[in-house]
């Protein structure tokens, strides 16, 4: 067997996080940063796993009982692939790494899952279709996030900008690349916990939360028009509106508001939480000059950020 690789991008959510879990639409984009998986044959029995970002090495084989570990979903998926494709999986060294900030809303779990499945697909020549790759990625996401909407795995697998609703993916095409600044609030978040908190709010006052979701849904549809007409000013204003609604869901933090305030001083068009909130990343749109200025100000405060472009697939 020959050594094989897989790689997958991360993602940011332009509009619709949380509402998407309740069946409303969302708009999300693949980003240039991503994750990698390398698989090499190994003369030793079993499988050696290296999770580089976590400086963790493990030794599990395909027949092991599922261990109690935050990496167990990789073994679950391998066991499922071995069963589904009737293949013997042994004597491997698997290394998984990511350039994405972990627990930040940039899809590091979906991205590393997708890179891993692609590497296995290449190593064993499984010839998975894109839809199958996406199903296995969603299977892995279930162990991490509980009840994922399917948005993260679909974005990292189908790429570009996607409109997603209830498992239906539509790629957006024919728009000019959008400059975007992705900022790390430095606070690791827990997607599962954020989803539970929103669920509690929904149970307390379903009418109020449904109203918020409906407003987010309308913003998302207006966002498509702004992208298609290359109107970054409207796109930014819509991001601000979506962020306000996420604030009403108690998903913002003082640090996030401080970062957004710095952005507002630089003439950007808008910014918002991206992903589950309660920390994690913020995205901003504006002219390339205003985003440069925003990044300069963040550099002075040692707040990490990445200037990148969102493009059609």
- Which position among 6, 8, 18, 241 is part of the footprint of ligand MEV (CB under 6 A)? 18
Given the rule CB under 6 A, which of 14-22, 95-103, 207-215, 303-311 is the region that contacts ligand MEV?
A: 14-22
* Under rule CB under 6 A, residue 275 binds ligand MEV: yes
Given the rule CB under 6 A, which of 13-21, 89-97, 176-184, 240-248 is the region that contacts ligand MEV?
A: 13-21
Q: Contact 17/29 with Cβ under 8 angstroms?
A: no
* Residues present in the chain in total: 313
Q: What angle do CA 9, 303, 240 make, to 5 degrees?
A: 70
* Under rule CB under 6 A, residue 134 binds ligand MEV: no
* Under rule CB under 6 A, residue 293 binds ligand MEV: no
Q: 3-state class of 178 per DSSP?
A: strand
What ranges make up the beta strands (E) of the chain? 4-15, 26-41, 47-51, 56-60, 92-98, 161-165, 168-172, 178-184, 270-274, 281-285, 305-310
Q: Considering beta carbons, is residue 96 or 110 the nearer one to ligand MEV?
A: 110
The contact pattern for ligand MEV, residues 140-179, with x = CB under 6 A and - = no contact, is -----x--xx-xx---------------------------
Q: Considering beta carbons, is residue 21 or 183 the nearer one to ligand MEV?
A: 21
Region 78-97 residues binding ligand MEV, contact defined as CB under 6 A: none
* Under rule CB under 6 A, residue 100 binds ligand MEV: no
Task: Spell out a b/e string for 228-263, using b for 16 or more CB atoms within 10 Å of the CB, else e.
Answer: eeeebebbbbbbbbbbebbeebebbbeebeebbebb
* Under rule CB under 6 A, residue 34 binds ligand MEV: no
* Integer Cα distance of 244 and 144 in angstroms: 27
* Under rule CB under 6 A, residue 268 binds ligand MEV: no
Q: Which residues bind ligand MEV (CB under 6 A)?
A: 13, 17-18, 20-21, 105, 145, 148-149, 151-152, 191, 194-195, 275-276
């Amino acid at each position: 067997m020959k050594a094989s690789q897989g790689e997958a991008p991360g993602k940011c959510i332009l509009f619709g996080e949380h509402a998407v879990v309740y069946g409303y639409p969302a708009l999300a984009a693949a980003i240039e940063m991503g994750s990698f998986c390398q698989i090499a044959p190994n003369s030793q029995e079993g499988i050696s796993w290296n999770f580089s970002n976590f400086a963790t090495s493990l030794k599990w084989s395909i027949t092991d009982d599922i261990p109690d570990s935050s990496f167990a979903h990789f073994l679950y998926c391998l066991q499922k692939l071995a069963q589904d494709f009737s293949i013997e999986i042994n004597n491997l060294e698997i290394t998984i790494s990511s350039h994405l900030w972990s627990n930040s809303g940039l899809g590091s779990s979906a991205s590393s899952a997708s890179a891993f499945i692609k590497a296995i697909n290449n190593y064993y020549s499984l010839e998975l279709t894109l839809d199958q790759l996406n199903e296995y990625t969603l299977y892995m996401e279930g162990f991490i996030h509980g009840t994922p909407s399917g948005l993260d795995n679909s974005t990292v697998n189908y790429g570009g900008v996607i409109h997603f609703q209830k498992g239906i993916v539509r790629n957006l095409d024919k728009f000019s690349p959008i400059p975007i600044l992705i900022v790390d609030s430095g606070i690791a978040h827990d997607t599962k916990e954020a989803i539970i908190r929103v669920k509690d709010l929904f149970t307390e006052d379903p009418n109020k939360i449904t109203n918020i979701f409906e407003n987010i849904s309308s913003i998302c549809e207006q966002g498509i028009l702004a992208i298609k007409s290359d109107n970054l000013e409207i796109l930014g204003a819509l991001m601000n509106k979506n962020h306000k609604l996420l604030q009403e869901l108690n998903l913002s933090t003082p640090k996030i508001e401080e970062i957004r305030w710095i952005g507002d001083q630089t003439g950007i068009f808008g910014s918002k939480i991206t992903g589950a909130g309660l920390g994690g990343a913020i995205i901003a749109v504006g002219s390339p000059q205003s985003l440069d200025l925003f990044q300069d100000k963040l550099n002075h405060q040692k707040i990490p950020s990445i200037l990148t472009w969102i493009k059609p697939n």
